[in-house]
Amino acid sequence: MKNLVNVLLFLCFLPMTVLSQQSVNIVVDPNSSTNILGAVQEMTTILKKIQPTLRIQRSQSTSNDNVNIVIKTGDSFAKSNLSDSDGFVIKKIDNRTVLISGISEIGTEFGIYGYLEDVIGVCWLMPSDLWLDLPAKISTFFPSSVKIEQPFFLTRELSPLDPGKKGSKMGEWARRNKLRRRVEFHHNMNTLFQNSKNVDFIASYKGQQAMPNFSSNGNWQPNFSAKGITEYASKEIIAFFRKNPTASSYSLGINDSYRFDTRIVGLSKTKAGLTNFSDSYYKWVNNVVNNVNKEVPNKTFGLLAYLNVGDAPSFKLAKNVVPFIPFERLQWIDGQSAQSDLMMLKDWKDVSQEVGWYDYIYGLNYLVPRPYFKTLDNYIKRGAANNVRHYYAEFYPNWIDGPKGWLLTKLLWDPNIPSENLLDTWYTKAFGTRSSKSMKAFYGVWENFWTVDVKKTAWWKKRKIWLAFSDTSYLKEIPQDNYARSLSYLNDALKNAENGQYKERIQYLKEMFDFQCLNYYYVNNISNPITKNKVNKNEIENSLQKLRRYEINDVFYRSYKKAIKY
C-alpha cells in the first residue's frame, strides 16, 4: 500500500509534458480553410509515422490531459510581431501548449510546416516519399525559444513547381518548403488583348503587321503608342479585378518576341545592343496603372524588364509596378558579368520601388549534375543586400542536382543563413553520417566544373541572357576523370549507407548519373569502362526508360525525349 501511495505521489508531480507524450490534442477551427485543414492532416500523418503509438485528436479547445498544438490565424501575439502575410509564430504557451499562428491563413499553414521542420525535425529534401526525412523519434513538441519568422523574398518561385496544384509531388514539395508567387509578371499581352478587334494595336514589324490577328503564339508585340490602346487595356484590367476581387496582382509582361513597332525611328540601343523601346512601353505601363489605381486601388503590376525593354526608362515607374530582371546568374562566376548585373539592378532601383530577379537554374536538359552552391549563395545574399524582394527561377529540375532546389528555398526565406550549414544538414539527413562525405565530394566535382572549368570551354562563350541549355557541346569538354571520380564517390556512398532508405536515395542518384555517363560516352565515342563496348542510342533509351519508375522523373523524361538531339 505504501509503495502504491509513493507511485501516485510521483505521478502527481511529474511534469505534464512527460505525462502527455503519448497523446496530442490539435486545436483547430473545423471551419478553417481546406489548405489549413490539409496541413493539419499532413501533421497528423507525419507524427503517426514517427510515433505509431501516439494518440492524436482534434478539438476546438485545449485539454489538461494532452499536449495541445493550437493552430490559430490572427492570434494577438502574431498580430503584434508579424507584418508579412507569409510569416508565422511558434510559441510555447505553457508546459502543455504550443501556439502556431500567422496573420493570414497562408502564414498559419506555413507555420505548420515550419513547426514540423524546426521542432519535430522533419525535412522535405526532394519531392516524393523517398525524400521525406523523418526523425527516429519525437524528442519534444515544444520550441526551445519563441520563433518569429517572416520571409525576406516576397516572391519565392521555382518554375514549373506549382504549390497550389493538388496531388502533384513537386507542387507539394514546393508548398512544404514555403514557396509562393506574390506578383504576376509573365508574358501576358496575348491574354490582355485576346478580345480586341483593333488590329492597329498590333505592332508593325519591318513594314508589315507583326501578326495578322491577336495570335496566341506570342511572336508579336503591341503597338504601345496606338490610339486607344491605353484605354482598352485599362478597361480590361479593371474588369478583371472586379470579376476576381481577391486577385492582388496583374501582369503587364511583354510577349516573348523581338517584334516591336519598327515605325518608331531614332531610338537608342539598349545595353544588350537592341533597339530601345523602354520609354514607349513604360509610358504606356504608367498610364494604364494610374487609370486602374483610380478604380481598383492596392493592386500590384509585375512585368519583365526583358529584350527591347530591358533597360530602365528615363522616368520613374508607378509605385505599384514591379519589374523582374532576367539573367542567368551562374554567370556571376565571371566578375564582369556580376558587375554588369548589379549595375542593371541599380538602374532599376532608381526608377522602381520594388524589384525582382528572374533567374535560370536548369536542371532539365543538362546531361551532368549542375550544382553551384557557393555562387548561388553569393548572388542571393548580394541581391538581398540590395533589397531585391522577389525571386523567380526557371528551375525545371533534374533531381540529380541534389540539394540545389532545397538550398534555394531556405535562402529565399532567410538569406542570412550560412549555406555551408544548410548543405551539411541536407547531406546528413539525405544520406546519413557515413555516406554524406562521399556525396558531398560527388557534388564538389561538378561544382568545380560549373564554376571554374566551364569558363575555359567554347560552350561558355555562347552565353547571352541565359546559357545554351539545349546545346550539349559542353560534354566534349569535360575530362573523363570527372566521371571516374564521381562513380567512385557514389559507390563508396552506397557501400557505407547506414540503412535501406539512405541506400535507396543514393541508388536513385547513381542511376541518374549512370544515364548521364552513357550520354557522355556516346557523344565522345568512348567505350563504356564497365562493358568495354561503345554505347549506342538503344542503350541510352533503355537507361532512360528505367528512370521512369521514379515519379519525379516524368518531366525530365518528356523533356529529354523532345529536346536532346545529337
The answer to whether 203 and 261 are in contact (CB under 8 A) is: yes
Q: Which residues pair with 101 in a beta bridge?
A: 89
Same fold, 16-150 and 189-417: no
pLDDT digit string, tens, across residues 2-24: 444 443 344 444 443 443 458 99
Element (H, E) at 394: strand 390-394
Which class for 258: exposed (0-12), middle (13-18), buried (19 or more C-beta within 10 A)?
middle
pLDDT for the residue 464: 86
Phi, psi of 403 (to 5 degrees): -80, 0
pLDDT digit string, tens, across residues 273-316: 999 999 999 999 999 999 999 999 999 999 999 999 999 999 99
| Residues 156, 160, 165, 171, Cα dihedral to 10° | -70
Cα angle value 109/113/115 (rounded, 5°):
110
| DSSP for residue 555 | H
CATH tag, 189-417: 3.20.20
**CA dihedral over 472, 476, 482, 488, signed as positive or negative:** positive
Phi, psi of 187 (to 5 degrees): -50, 125
Binning pLDDT at 50, 70 and 90, where does residue 462 land? confident
pLDDT digit string, tens, across residues 52-77: 999 999 999 999 999 999 999 999 99
Q: Where are the domains of the chain?
A: 16-150, 189-417, 427-563
Q: Which fold has domain 16-150?
A: Chitobiase; domain 2 (3.30.379)
User: Cell for 221?
Assistant: 508585340
Measured distance CA(39)–CA(126) in Å, rounded = 18
pLDDT digit string, tens, across residues 468-492: 988 999 999 999 999 999 999 999 9
The answer to whether 426 and 408 are in contact (CB under 8 A) is: no
Mean of pLDDT values over 185-213: 90
Cα angle value 408/154/38 (rounded, 5°):
80
pLDDT digit string, tens, across residues 82-111: 999 999 999 999 999 999 999 999 999 999
The answer to whether 40 and 26 are in contact (CB under 8 A) is: yes
Q: Which residues pair with 69 in a beta bridge?
A: 26, 98
Q: Which residues pair with 55 in a beta bridge?
A: 23
- Orientation of helix 105-115 relative to helix 34-50, angle to 10°: 10
User: Cell for 549?
Assistant: 519508375
Cα 294 off chain centre by: 34
| DSSP for residue 253 | B
| DSSP for residue 146 | -
Query: In one letter, which amino acid is 502?
Result: Y
| Residues 557, 563, 564, 566, Cα dihedral to 10° | 150
Give, in order, the Cα–Cα distances in Å from 566 to each of 105, 459, 466, 555, 563: 50, 15, 21, 20, 10
Q: Is 97 helix (H, G, I), strand (E, B) or coil?
A: strand
The answer to whether 326 and 277 are in contact (CB under 8 A) is: no
Q: Which residues pair with 124 in a beta bridge?
A: 132
pLDDT digit string, tens, across residues 396-454: 999 999 999 999 999 999 999 999 999 999 999 999 999 999 999 999 999 999 999 99
Residue 80 pLDDT > 50, yes or no?
yes
Cα angle value 494/421/439 (rounded, 5°):
15
- Compute the 3-state secondary structure of the chain and give helix, strand, coil in percent, each to the nearest 5: 50, 15, 40
Binning pLDDT at 50, 70 and 90, where does residue 1 land? very low
Element (H, E) at 67: strand 67-71
| DSSP for residue 199 | G
pLDDT for the residue 558: 65
pLDDT digit string, tens, across residues 219-256: 899 999 999 999 999 999 999 999 999 999 999 999 99
Tell me the average pLDDT of the chain: 93
